[in-house]
Amino acid sequence: MLVCNLGCDALFEWGYIAVNDRGNIITVRPAATPHTVQAVALLQGLPCSAHNSTTAPHFAAHVTIAQQREGSPSQSKESAKTY
């Protein structure tokens, strides 16, 4: 899978963004710096080309793990921020 080394992969691994069940990038937790806020805002709502029926379970698990790691309140897939 090709990923953006300049932002989206790092933001995904750090738990700032995730991919919802429709394949769109969502915010999982608030960004820590103004530059990170800006990077997350640019990605919100964009389709993730790596999302498909095979990768969907991985993306769903990532949302859960990121929310638990940060102590975020559990969000349903429908209530996650999707711009």
Q: Enter the pTM of the model.
A: 0.73
- Both structure tokens of 68: 């638990």
- Tens digit of each residue's pLDDT (9 = 90 or more) over 25-69: 999 989 889 989 999 999 999 999 999 999 999 999 998 887 787
Report residue 14's pLDDT band, with 50, 70 and 90 as the boundaries.
Answer: confident
Q: Are 7 and 61 in contact (CB under 8 A)?
A: no
Burial label, 19 (beta-carbon count in 10 A; 0-12, 13-18, 19+): buried
User: Quick one: pLDDT at residue 74?
Assistant: 42
Q: Are 67 and 26 in contact (CB under 8 A)?
A: no
User: Quick one: pLDDT at residue 67?
Assistant: 77
Q: Name the more confident of 72 and 66.
A: 66
The C-alpha atoms of residue 63 and residue 61 are separated, in whole angstroms, by 5
